[in-house]
Chain A
Amino acid sequence: MLNDQQWSQLLLSFVEEAHDLAKQAEEYLLQLEQTPTDEDAINGLFRAMHTLKGSAGLFSLTPLVNFTHHLESLLMKVREGQQALTPVLLDLLLRGLDEVNAMVELIDADSGELVVDEARHAGLIAALTSHDDSHLIPLTTIEPDTCKSFGRLDKCASCDQEAAWHISLRLQPEILGNGFDPASFLRYLSRLGDILQLELIDDALPALAEMDPESCYLGMEIDLCTTAGKAEIEDVFEFIRDFCTLRILPPNAALDDYLRLIHELPETDQKIGRILVASGLLTELELDQALRLQAADAQQPRPLGSVLVEQGMVPAQGVNAALAKQQTVREKRNQENSQIRVAAHKLDELINLVGELVISAAGAQLRAQLKGDAACIESTQTVNLHVEQIREAALKLRMIEIGDTFNRFHRVVRDVSQQLGKDIRLEIQGADTELDKAVIDRLADPLTHLVRNAIDHGIEPADQRLAAGKSAEGHLRLDAYHESGMIVIEVADDGHGLNTRRIREKAVARGLIDAQANLSDHDVQMLIFAAGFSTADNVSDLSGRGVGMDVVRSAIDALRGTIEIDSRPGEGCTFRIRLPLTLAIIDGFLISLGDDYFVIPLDMVTECLELEADQLDGAAYGYLDLRGRPLPCLSLAAHFKLREAPSKRRNIIVVSHGRQQAGLIVDHLHGELQTVIKPLGQLFQHLQGIGGSTILGSGQVALILDIPSLFRHLHTHVEASPADLRTSQPRQIAAGQQGETPCNSSAT
């Protein structure tokens, strides 16, 4: 039993629900005023009243039940087309809704009783009932959708025989022994509609002498004329599901309805099975069965659709319709109105705030730990946990699907391949993979470059392809997927792959590598990303855009990602880009100079060394000897004009960017730190060498170093250094030598 408190809570929620329903109903009515034939609105209106009546019944609110019943039956007539929705009726219905609202207000919250103004109430009910009978429209306006000859065993009198469901039933031998008489299910089935045809399948029945009389050898093919749906028909056989094989096929006419239904289903990204179940063409049980069948065939998993058709569970048209639906849903998902468009800066603000929250929560936890109050520590830990979750959720808000970006390439591929007279098909996979919007925006250019390159250099002309035993049509694949916290994007072609020998020749000619250097194929391939390794065999419209592979590389670097090449001679080449899911958080390495803290992106840190003496002699820039090789160095303290603690031991952090290395001289090393990047304010945007800031748990600000910009700065300063030092640095060998490029699928 409910106690009083629970009861009044329930009552309160009913009152709320009732108001909501009345409001909904009013909206539907107003909608109907504009479009009186809107079936959805009529159905919605009817449902609202029906629900209200049901709920009111639970609370024994008899007057409300009575009243809504009248409204409901009036609406029923409207729904069935026996009653026109005239302005007079609309008006009456609106007044009825007002009355419903008034009655809900009158419910005594304590006793749950409803006392109504009998006279007024009666007047309205009279108006409703009189209306109920007066404006009857003859039934002929709407075809009855029920079968008139319901229940009679011979031919269905009112329906076309085409319109029958076909039920195929195969009984298992043990069904009789288990106490089921199939005939009783047929009797039950005939309550759903007319059995037009029934063919007893007795081919398996042996002669009397050989048979086991307690086994069942029969099957049935039944044509049933009914308005019931597939699930209802299936329910008839519920108890003997285990003892029979049941296939239910919709009538041709109904199939069209189902196809329409599939088409009209709300557009959510559902699996094909779900779509079919939602349309009623497939039942849950059948879906289960089909999925099991699909799983059982583990070696060669087939699409669910083909399993369904093969098993006769769903007609092929149904599967096709569902597939088409799935397709359109995917296409439309971006425009779906269930999504909210939010200005990106609002999200940034939110993420900013969440970043603040992360920091202040960390600060609170630090305090709590210093104080040693166990309860306090515990609650700050809980807070921190939730803050982490909020952070995850907030970062997810920025995630968008890569599909849009991928889809743009259809056009690129079409145009470029036409220009080159190649026949190339673009395949897109993993279009629904999500990643940070900022990442996606900055990915478009490098991707375009890779795609153009693949078309221009990677995929051979048709005659060469045919000669190599490939299809004349080239394939280009864009794929995106998640892999251990990173997102992977692949640009793959089925062309001839990278020509390692020629890349090597060219690299040697350019002095990028030593002629004797023993590099693996993979290392040689990576050379195409080197700055200056960027002229094409043939300068075409597609080449010479000023974007070489080195630019692709640096764009990926800027996104803190990596790129690798997987090239198989004659089979094709895949560029695999790995990116962090978001730019808002980095793994950093915390260092300090005096009292000032700095963060260096961890993946740029190569090694840490102790500085033996001040080898730079107080200069801001210079060279140090790193295992016999000159390492350009920068003293952060001198660079940022900070006071340095003179007596302290100092350290060098060797950082690398692309293939360049440099040392940063700092005071203290504090270790790894995961941190939220906060952009610098407008005032500090012009600062060189600082990429952002973050706040440490202690409340102190740490600046995030912009390593690429520091590198550029260092270059301009060491430019003046002795030439011998410069040439001894392998990475300093610049482009500028023109000539034939050995690499077919390299950069433009």
Chain B
Amino acid sequence: MFTLEQQASEAGTRLVLSGSLTIYEVRDARDALLGAFGGQPSGHWQLDLSALDELDTAGAQLLLAAQRQLRLSDATLEVCNPSASALELLQLLHLQGLFSSQGPAASGDRHAQ
């Protein structure tokens, strides 16, 4: 079960992801994210993973794709407050770059640390 809650914050838009984000949920999650981004997303977006119980490679891939999507319209995306299980996976895939707002293209050493 995946849910997405949108909050406005002073830094930009915050999306709180909760439940699980795995191969079973990615299709719905994609639609939900696209809906939240709207036609021309702009500014800074935060994905709050604190309530995410489960994350797999398909989910991580979706987060990466979301980051690309935002970059298309010069918006930025940052993943924050990952839950323990989400953090484990992101570390395993050396996707710490998602935590920075610059995005993977700009961070050359996202995997090394």
Contacts and interface: CB of A to CB of B under 8 A. Distances in A.
Interface of A: 153-154, 176-177, 179, 181-183, 186-187, 190, 197-200, 202, 205-209, 211, 213-214, 216-218
19 contacts: A153-B92, A154-B113, A176-B58, A181-B22, A183-B57, A183-B92, A186-B92, A186-B93, A198-B94, A200-B64, A200-B111, A202-B104, A207-B65, A208-B30, A208-B68, A213-B29, A213-B30, A214-B23, A214-B26
B53 to A, nearest CB: 15
B38 to A, nearest CB: 11
Given A153-B91, A183-B93, A208-B62, 20 more contacts: A153-B92, A179-B23, A181-B58, A183-B60, A183-B89, A186-B92, A187-B92, A190-B92, A197-B111, A197-B112, A199-B111, A205-B61, A205-B68, A207-B65, A207-B69, A207-B72, A208-B33, A208-B69, A213-B58, A213-B65
B58 A199 contact: no
Nearest to B31: A213
B16 interface: no
A183 B68 contact: no
A218 B95 CA distance: 12
B36 to A, nearest CB: 11
Residue in B22, B30, B57, B72 with the greatest tally of chain A CB atoms within 10 Å: B57
Contacts of B112: 197
Given A197-B111, A198-B93, A218 B65 contact: no
Contact of A214 (B27, B34, B60): B27
Which one of B26, B72, B104 has the highest number of Cβ atoms from chain A below 10 Å of its Cβ? B26
A266 B95 CA distance: 46
A198 B27 CA distance: 27
Nearest to A222: B94
B4 interface: no
Nearest to A179: B23
B33 to A, nearest CB: 6
Interface residues of B, number: 32
Q: Which of B37, B64, B72 has the most CB of A within 10 A?
A: B64
Given A183-B89, A202-B104, A208 B56 contact: no
Contacts, number: 84
Contacts of A213: 26-27, 29-30, 58, 61-62, 65
B66 interface: yes
B73 to A, nearest CB: 10
Interface in B31-87: 33-34, 37, 56-58, 60-62, 64-66, 68-69, 71-72
A181 B56 contact: yes
Chief secondary structure at chain A's binding surface: loop
Contacts of A176: 23, 57-58
B61 A218 contact: yes
A183 B56 contact: yes
Interface of B: 22-23, 26-27, 29-30, 33-34, 37, 56-58, 60-62, 64-66, 68-69, 71-72, 89, 91-95, 104, 111-113
Nearest to B63: A208
A660 B62 CA distance: 91
Contact of B65 (A186, A190, A205, A214): A205
A91 to B, nearest CB: 54
A200 B94 contact: yes
Given A176-B23, A199-B111, A218 B104 contact: no
A200 B90 CA distance: 11
B24 to A, nearest CB: 9
Give 7 closest A-B pairs by Cβ, nearest first. A208-B69, A213-B26, A207-B69, A198-B94, A207-B68, A208-B65, A213-B30
Contacts of B91: 153
Given A153-B91, A208-B69, A198 B111 contact: yes
B94 A211 contact: no
Contacts of A197: 94, 111-112
A500 to B, nearest CB: 75
A217 B61 CA distance: 8
A182 B66 CA distance: 20
A191 to B, nearest CB: 12
B103 to A, nearest CB: 11
Contacts of B92: 153, 183, 186-187, 190, 198
A216 B66 contact: no
Contacts of A218: 57, 61
B78 to A, nearest CB: 16
Contacts of B22: 181
Contacts of A187: 92
Contacts of A214: 23, 26-27, 58
Contacts of A202: 61, 64, 104
A213 B57 CA distance: 11
Given A176-B23, A199-B111, A208-B30, A181 B68 contact: no
A146 B88 CA distance: 25
Nearest to B30: A213
Nearest to B95: A200
Contact of B94 (A181, A199, A207): A199
A540 B5 CA distance: 102
Contacts of B26: 213-214
B64 A205 contact: yes
B93 A211 contact: no
Contacts of A217: 61
Contacts of B60: 183
A217 B94 CA distance: 16
Contacts of A207: 65, 68-69, 71-72
A182 B64 CA distance: 16
B29 to A, nearest CB: 7
Contacts of A198: 92-94, 111
